Amino acid sequence: MTEPSWLTETRAAYDTVAVDYARLIPDVVEGPLDRGMLAAFAERPDLTVEDR
């Protein structure tokens, strides 16, 4: 299944900004537990924008 172009563009823009953000704020997520919890939350498909 091909995703819509707007989603592809949004994903690319987010990935670009995320790299810069990670460089600016390296200590926000410090350990493997923090990273794992953040990744699990970000991957939840059942959340809408309003839930986050």
CA dist 7 and 1 (Å) reads 13
Say which residues have a Cβ less than 8 Å from residue 51's Cβ, sequence separation at least 6: none
Structure-model confidence comparison of residues 46 and 2, the more confident one: 2
Please say whether the beta carbons of 21 and 30 come within 8 A. Answer: no
pTM for the model stands at 0.44
pLDDT interval class at 29 (50, 70, 90): low
CA dist 33 and 35 (Å) reads 5
